[in-house]
Amino acid sequence: MSSTTSAGASRRTLGSGLRATAKVLPEHTRAHNRALVLQHLFHEGPTSRADLARATSLTRVTVSDLINGLLAEGLVEELGVQRGRGVGKPAILVGMRTDAYQIVTVDLSDDTVMRGAVLTLTGEAVVRRSLSVHDRSGDELVSLIERFARRLIASATQPVIGVGIGAPGVIDESGRVHEAPNRKWTDLPLASLLTDHLGLPVQVANDADVAALGEYTFGGGGDSMLVVTVGQGVGAGLVVDGSRVWGANSAAGELGHVTVVDDGELCACGRRGCLETVLSAPALRRRIEGLDRDAADAALAHVGRILGITLAPVISALNLGEVLLSGPADLLDGSLRDAAQTTVAERTMPAVSAGLRLRMATLDEDVVLAGAAVLVLGAQLGVS
């Protein structure tokens, strides 16, 4: 699809940035409006040109023109007339061909296994694969990822519009990994390396950020939300006022290593009492090991309170609408979540806590794979 590269800029949409930054050309206008149309088709399903015009407040003429381009690219198709909607000429439904293109995604969040998939544009898995990492790291790991991605691309049954990767570590907007200690990566331009080698646009982002994106797009997350991912470690990704948060050094979301217990357990990071020492999946399992049901619930509630105390300032400062917990439901979705919720309610003003939902994430194990697809959808088509 030759157009995907030209559509790259379409991810940029009108926002409310304070300091103006880059010039805008007429073609950016086009890309933006094209994304607007695709966005609507993606989320609302097949729609007539006239309805698209009403929804986007563009004119029918412009919408027709945009649709013609999308038809030529094979991104949308006509689905026949929509009869019996009252007077007037019946409308021709236009729908996105979500099966006509595919996305390859890779989840590197696990230390030992890399998981990958070929997905449709709606995030449905067509192919899944996984591969043992065998302690590989550094450049060796990069070429392993490349081979893995190549195999996935080969097994796609439709043209692939891009590759999305969720990886641990601090990763900036360009897909450069600043540091990922477990993978022995420092200052590695992973996205551009793989883009060159694979000959396809590759997007790379932090796994927790990617999980947040997945929940945002496929899980129905709100415009201001925090996703806490609990696994080997603890991470977080956040969307504020409809934008992903990067932070001053692209390290936003690093909640796992905030101190939450004074003189607590020693953490892998060298300090004591980090959130990760109480909330990571292994830590939680250790905590409830051998306990009966009630005692385990109480132990999990204790951690929930700690989480609530930690989140209260964040929720207040950002006036978050949703906090999602992503990870093993048997550990998180019970007394832990309840305790966290009540603790947050106790410790924040009603105006803030009243509008807050603290719930489990909806996508579970596939969050990162689905989220990585959103990365590609956003970059290539302007859809999210």
Nearest-approach distance from CB 62 to its own copies, in angstroms? 9
Q: Are 105 and 116 in contact (CB under 8 A)?
A: yes
Tokens linked to 24: 């805008």
Residues 270-309 that bind its own copies (CB under 8 A): 271, 274
CA dist 187 → 39, 114, 256 (Å): 34, 21, 21
Give least dist CB 188 to its own copies, A. Answer: 16
In this structure, the strands spanning 102-107 and 47-48 are unpaired
Residue given tokens 């932070």 in the structure block: 247
Query: Where does residue 203 rank: exposed (0-12), middle (13-18), buried (19+ CB within 10 A)?
Result: buried
Among 4, 9, 10, 33, binds DNA (CB under 7 A): 33
CA–CA gap between residue 103 and residue 187 (Å, rounded): 26
Out of 352, 372, 373, 379, which residue is the one contacting its own copies (CB under 8 A)?
352
Query: Of 53-61, 183-191, 279-287, 329-337, which part binds its own copies (CB under 8 A)?
Result: 53-61
**Phi, psi (5° rounding) for residue 362?**
-95, -20
175 scored as a contact of its own copies (CB under 8 A): no
Q: Is 188 helix (H, G, I), strand (E, B) or coil?
A: strand
21 binds its own copies (CB under 8 A): yes
Q: Distance between CA atoms of 344 and 137, rounded to whole angstroms?
A: 40
Residues 6+ apart with CB under 8 A from 18: none
Instruction: Work out what residue 80 binds among its own copies, DNA, none; the CB cut-off runs from 5 to 8 Å by kind.
Output: none
Q: Which of 5, 45, 72, 81 binds DNA (CB under 7 A)?
A: 81
The partner in contact with residue 220, picked from DNA, its own copies, none with C-beta cut-offs of 5 to 8 angstroms by kind, is none
Judged by beta carbon distances under 5 to 8 A according to partner kind, the member of its own copies, DNA, none in contact with residue 277 is none
- Part in contact with its own copies (CB under 8 A); list of ranges 74-82, 156-164, 216-224, 365-373: 216-224
Binding interface with DNA (CB under 7 A): 23-27, 29-30, 33, 48-51, 57-62, 64-68, 81, 83-84, 86-92
